[in-house]
């Protein structure tokens, strides 16, 4: 036991508990605290550092959460193993603001993203043909990356010929390119009545007419889609089948099959945005697995790994469609970034991508548990594997007034107006991934709950 481990925290800016965590990580990384070493009791360390016991307890809890130490009641706390890279230790925003607007996956220390990227890029630079990666690539992606994409997508879609798979620089690029490939100005596109703002933006820029389709707790209503096909004669349907953005609904297998049947009968192409499909291990088969001949299946790594990779994969109905889409991709974005495409392919091959997704899935579950507790009693839709939730505001709150009060408290949320194709409900999307840790998340959600527990007129006295 290291009774006299003495971290230096006096000159460290920020909360003292985080300074202790940083010192612990630094000493583990430097080898001064090898794996298995028992740390001093919390009371001893608090006395030695002249801080409150609660400060040390908070530090040990954070160190355990980030994988630095293990703790067992009655036995004490022990160094777990190698510390994460310093770049992977994130700190709360000193302004006290909490971002609930950016719908990104959390970046838990357990995912070791910085370390994995450093090691992965180092391997790439030493690999044969690395300099070829520094040249222009085919707009559909080079064949090695397309083969890796086919392997990744094939887990959910079934076996895929490489010729039907393309690699692109993010899902937003793919969606714009798909719309350009299959729709012209004035064409009708069926979308959920609450739909992804990026799709709306791409469609509006192309002059595509959006036709809202009614949804319920299980997602897009097939009967409403059928009615829209008869009246509006759409050329395509856009849908997020798993962990819908923003409502979090997941279409049951029966609805997916029914939607595919209706689309085929009416000559409607399906744009399946499966951004979150890799997160729930029990998600139903994608629509692309049921109707490959009419489905443009888009899967991005931005929502299950990191938006910094800017890599998306798309499976198209056939080789002719692949040629058309590659031409649109070239016009919009030339090519996916070759280095991140190669890194993603390497991670698929060696299982690193699966490990990162698993870490993010686990962190999402922890954060959703925090949200359930903090927002208890409110009308919330969520999924344990997702990193956002949909909150319907209680009477007499309206979304505009709530958004203004939230901003005064340093909280940013997305109002339903951003998603609505037609009338907007009194609701907000709350994204859980941007908060650097569970404590910051809990703090921000408790403020949201406090706001909603009072009528709007009383808020000025709280603020």
- The phi and psi torsions of 190 (rounded to 5 degrees) equal -75, 135
pLDDT for residue 95: 52
- The phi and psi torsions of 419 (rounded to 5 degrees) equal -110, -20
pLDDT for residue 84: 54
Contact status, residue 240 vs residue 196, Cβ threshold 8 Å: yes
Q: Which CATH class is domain 136-350?
A: alpha beta
Q: pLDDT grade, residue 443 (50/70/90)?
A: confident
Q: Where are the domains of the chain?
A: 16-79, 98-109+372-458, 136-350
Q: pLDDT grade, residue 2 (50/70/90)?
A: very low
Residue 272 in tokens: 């399946």
How high is the mean pLDDT of the chain?
Answer: 89
Give Cβ neighbours of residue 95 (< 8 Å, ≥ 6 apart).
410
pLDDT for residue 14: 66
pLDDT for residue 461: 41
- Secondary structure of 122-186 as H, E, C letters: HHHHHCCCHHHHHCCCCCCCCHHHHHHHHHHHHHHHCCCCHHHEEEECCHHHHHHHHHHHHCCCC
* Three-class DSSP category at 394: coil
Distance CA 271, CA 175 (A): 8
Q: Do domains 98-109+372-458 and 136-350 have the same CATH topology?
A: no
pLDDT tens-place string over residues 320-377: 999 999 999 999 999 898 999 999 999 999 999 999 999 999 999 999 999 999 999 9
pLDDT for residue 25: 86
Closest CA to 383 of 195, 252, 216, 243: 243
Angle between helix 143-157 and helix 338-350 axes, rounded to 10 deg: 50
pLDDT for residue 279: 96
Q: Is the peptide bond before 396 cis (omega within 30 degrees of 0)?
A: yes
Distance CA 225, CA 181 (A): 22
Q: What is the pTM (predicted TM-score) of this model?
A: 0.79
Contact status, residue 294 vs residue 264, Cβ threshold 8 Å: yes
Q: What contacts 24+ positions apart, CB below 8 Å, involve 72-81?
A: 76/1, 76/38, 76/39, 76/41, 77/38, 77/39, 77/42, 78/36, 78/37, 78/38, 78/39, 79/28, 79/33, 79/34, 79/35, 79/36, 79/37, 79/39, 80/35, 81/28, 81/35
Mean predicted confidence (pLDDT) in 216-223: 96
Q: What is the DSSP string of 191-220?
A: EESB--HHHHHHHHHHTPEEEEE-EETTEE
pLDDT tens-place string over residues 144-182: 999 999 999 999 999 999 999 999 999 999 999 999 999
Q: Which CATH class is domain 16-79?
A: mainly alpha
Locus of tokens 């990026």 = 198
pLDDT for residue 1: 45
Rounded percentage of the chain residues whose pLDDT exceeds 70: 92
Phi-psi region of 314 (alpha: psi -120 to 50; beta: other; left: phi over 0): beta
Pairing of strands 219-220, 269-273: unpaired
Q: What is the DSSP string of 47-67?
A: HHHT--HHHHHHHHHHHHHTT
Mean predicted confidence (pLDDT) in 419-426: 95
Contact status, residue 341 vs residue 305, Cβ threshold 8 Å: no
Distance CA 333, CA 443 (A): 40
Mean predicted confidence (pLDDT) in 90-105: 74
Rounded percentage of the chain residues whose pLDDT exceeds 90: 63
| 75: pLDDT strictly greater than 80 | no
Pairing of strands 312-315, 215-216: unpaired
Q: Is the peptide bond before 436 cis (omega within 30 degrees of 0)?
A: no
Residue 69 in tokens: 């130490």
CA 139 centroid distance within chain: 25
Q: pLDDT grade, residue 238 (50/70/90)?
A: very high
Q: Which CATH class is domain 98-109+372-458?
A: alpha beta
pLDDT for residue 462: 44
pLDDT tens-place string over residues 372-419: 999 999 999 999 999 999 999 999 999 999 998 888 888 899 999 999
Q: Give the H or E element holding residue 395.
A: none
Closest CA to 103 of 284, 237, 240: 240
């Amino acid at each position: 036991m290291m009774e006299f481990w003495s971290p230096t925290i006096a000159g460290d800016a920020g909360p003292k508990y985080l300074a202790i965590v940083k010192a612990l990580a630094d000493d583990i990384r430097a080898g001064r605290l090898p794996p298995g070493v028992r740390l001093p009791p919390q009371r001893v360390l608090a006395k030695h550092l002249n801080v409150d016991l609660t400060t040390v307890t908070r530090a040990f809890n954070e160190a355990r959460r980030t994988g630095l130490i293990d703790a067992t009641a009655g036995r004490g706390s022990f160094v777990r193993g190698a510390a994460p890279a310093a770049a992977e230790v994130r700190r709360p925003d000193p302004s006290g603001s909490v971002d609930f607007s950016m719908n990104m996956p959390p970046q838990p220390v357990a995912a070791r993203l910085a370390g994995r990227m450093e090691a992965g890029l180092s391997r790439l630079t030493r690999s044969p043909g690395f300099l070829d990666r520094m040249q222009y690539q085919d707009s559909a992606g080079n064949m090695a990356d397309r083969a890796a994409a086919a392997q990744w997508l094939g887990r959910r879609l079934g076996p895929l010929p490489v010729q039907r798979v393309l690699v692109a620089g993010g899902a937003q690029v793919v969606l714009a390119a798909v719309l350009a490939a299959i729709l012209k100005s004035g064409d009708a596109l069926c979308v959920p009545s609450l739909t992804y703002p990026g799709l709306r933006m791409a469609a509006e820029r192309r002059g595509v007419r959006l036709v809202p389709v009614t949804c319920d707790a299980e997602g897009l209503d097939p009967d409403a889609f059928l009615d829209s096909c008869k009246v509006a004669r759409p050329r395509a349907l856009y849908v997020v089948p798993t962990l819908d953005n923003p409502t979090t609904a997941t279409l049951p297998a029966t609805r997916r099959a029914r939607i595919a049947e209706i689309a085929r009968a009416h000559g409607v192409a399906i744009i399946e945005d499966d951004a979150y499909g890799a997160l729930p291990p029990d998600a139903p088969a994608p629509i692309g697995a049921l109707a490959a001949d009419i489905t443009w299946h888009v899967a991005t790594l931005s929502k299950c790994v990191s938006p910094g990779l800017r890599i998306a994969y798309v499976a198209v109905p056939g080789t002719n469609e692949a040629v058309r889409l590659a031409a649109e991709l070239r016009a919009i974005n030339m090519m996916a970034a070759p280095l991140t495409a190669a890194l993603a392919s390497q991670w698929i091959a060696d299982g690193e991508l699966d490990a990162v997704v698993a870490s993010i899935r686990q962190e999402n579950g922890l954060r959703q548990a925090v949200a359930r507790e903090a927002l208890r009693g409110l009308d919330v839709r969520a999924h344990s594997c997702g990193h956002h939730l949909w909150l319907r505001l209680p009477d007499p709150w309206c979304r505009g007034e709530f958004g203004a009060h939230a901003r005064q408290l340093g909280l940013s949320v997305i109002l339903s107006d951003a998603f609505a194709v037609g009338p907007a409900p009194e609701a907000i999307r709350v994204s859980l991934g941007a908060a650097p840790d569970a404590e910051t998340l809990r703090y921000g959600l408790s403020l949201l709950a406090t706001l909603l527990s009072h009528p709007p007129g009383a808020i000025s006295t709280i603020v």
